Amino acid sequence: MTSRLADAGATVSEQVPLSTLTTLRLGGPARILAECATTDVLVDVVRLLDTENVPTLIVAGGSNLVVGDAGFDGVVVKVTTTAVELGTDRVRAEAGAVWDDVVEKTVAAGFGGLEALSGIPGSAGATPVQNVGAYGVEVGSVLRRVRLLDRRTGDVRWVGPEDLGLGYRTSVLKHSDAALVVDIELEVRPDGSSAPLGYRELATALGAGEGERRPAAEVREQVLTLRRGKGMVLDAADHDTWSAGSFFTNPVVPDDALPAVLAAVAARVGTEVRVPRFPADGGTKLSAGWLIERAGFGKGFPSEDAPARLSTKHTLALTNRGHASTADLVALARQVRDGVQEAFGVRLEPEPVPVGCRI
């Protein structure tokens, strides 16, 4: 298989630590790593592996993976395609392009619309899979179309966002190997103005009202400042950024369950405390970070010398302090999840995808 992958155009190596390919810097070895620098090579390599029924893991930015300590006993396909093409009101990016590079290029070229998504780690191809969002903007709101490799038929075709089942941090592509994103195309604003400011923290930092627009470059700068303050911009020297970003999604509590949850919160923290909550499809969205902290898991939990800790800047991020194992991180995730459920009756769901481990 190694020689056949090389014949297909991949750069092939063996026993590569997956800790070098993930933002958590965790994970055991990949038996075989096949790096694909063009879309044609990527499609040919994945078709070959699927035809031969070879266990395959696709990795690009590695920002949303929790890989087990035993690694992956198959072929890891590393997507290293990088092309970004700007049009009059759109941007097209290959799946392996660094997401923040895509945002930066649009802003530098005088376009607006993506600036609120600045600083998010990972690849362009992962953004519709997760329906990535921040500061009031989701990829689904600016997505024009996605080019997919159908791994059942081998066909490659463009599909619209209506075919992706986009929801809060999810899509039909998540937790499924049926299709692989190879390109995305997004709408941008030619006048250089931002998306309407729909997130209070960002609007306040800019001295603007909610719903206002500002120059995209100004908004991008402020978003990066806010994210750095929470350890959410990658920095090799800062262990608070050795993470998968927000580890748990904000829970949506059904209407019939909300009174019991609010009663549990009041019993723990008092009736005078305001509970952050927002309307959502299917119920009311609560803040996972707020629940984690009020359940007794503060910044830096459990201790300064723990190998895996909550970020010292942001309770929603689980971090590797430089010598953690995946088992350490998973144990912390379970402790936090179970503690929140015991305190408030709310079960938090992990956002990253586990590979070779169970959260």
**Comma-separated ranges of CATH 3.90.78.10 domains in the chain:** 239-355
Contacts of 3 (CB under 8 A, 6+ apart): none
Q: Which CATH class is domain 2-79?
A: alpha beta
Active-site pick, 104, 115, 138, 351: 351
If you average pLDDT over residues 224-230, what whole number do you get? 96
Q: Which of 16, 118, 9 is nearest to 62 (CA)?
A: 16
Q: Is the pLDDT of residue 267 over 90?
A: yes
Write out the two tokens for 219: 């908004």
Question: For position 84, what pLDDT does the model report?
Answer: 98
Residue 186, SS3? strand
If you average pLDDT over residues 309-336, what whole number do you get? 97
Active-site residue flag, 118? no
Active-site residue flag, 169? yes
Length of the chain: 359
Residue 234, SS3? coil
Q: Is the pLDDT of residue 246 over 90?
A: yes
Q: Is the pLDDT of residue 24 over 90?
A: yes
Q: What is the pLDDT of residues 97-111, one digit of tens each?
A: 999 999 999 999 999
If you average pLDDT over residues 73-89, what whole number do you get? 98
**Comma-separated ranges of CATH 3.30.43.10 domains in the chain:** 2-79
If you average pLDDT over residues 129-153, what whole number do you get? 96
Q: What is the pTM of this model?
A: 0.93
**Comma-separated ranges of CATH 3.30.465.10 domains in the chain:** 84-229
Please name the CATH architecture into which domain 84-229 falls: 2-Layer Sandwich (3.30)
Q: Beta 72-79 vs 29-36: how paired, if at all?
A: parallel
Q: Is the pLDDT of residue 22 over 90?
A: yes
Question: For position 175, what pLDDT does the model report?
Answer: 84
Phi-psi bin for 63: left (phi > 0), alpha (psi -120 to 50), beta?
alpha
Which amino acid does the sequence have at 276? P
Write out the two tokens for 174: 């998540």
Band of residue 347 on the pLDDT scale cut at 50, 70, 90: very high
If you average pLDDT over residues 344-357, what whole number do you get? 96
Active-site pick, 92, 147, 151, 169: 169
Band of residue 241 on the pLDDT scale cut at 50, 70, 90: very high
Q: Taking the CA atoms of 111, 115, 121 and 122 in sequence, report the sign of the dihedral they define.
A: negative
172 backbone dihedrals φ, ψ, rounded to 5°: -70, -15
Cβ(143)–Cβ(161) below 8 Å: yes
Active-site pick, 63, 118, 246, 311: 246
Q: Is the pLDDT of residue 329 over 90?
A: yes
If you average pLDDT over residues 171-185, what whole number do you get? 95
Domain 239-355 listed as CATH 3.90.78.10: yes
Q: Is the pLDDT of residue 65 over 90?
A: yes
If you average pLDDT over residues 281-307, what whole number do you get? 97
What CA–CA distance (Å, rounded) separates 33 from 152? 22
Which amino acid does the sequence have at 181? V
Band of residue 293 on the pLDDT scale cut at 50, 70, 90: very high
- The percentage of residues in the chain with a pLDDT greater than 90, rounded to a whole number, is 98
What CA–CA distance (Å, rounded) separates 228 from 230? 5
User: Over the chain, what is the mean pLDDT?
Assistant: 97
Write out the two tokens for 357: 């481990």
Q: What is the pLDDT of residues 119-132, one digit of tens each?
A: 999 999 999 999 99
Active-site residue flag, 246? yes
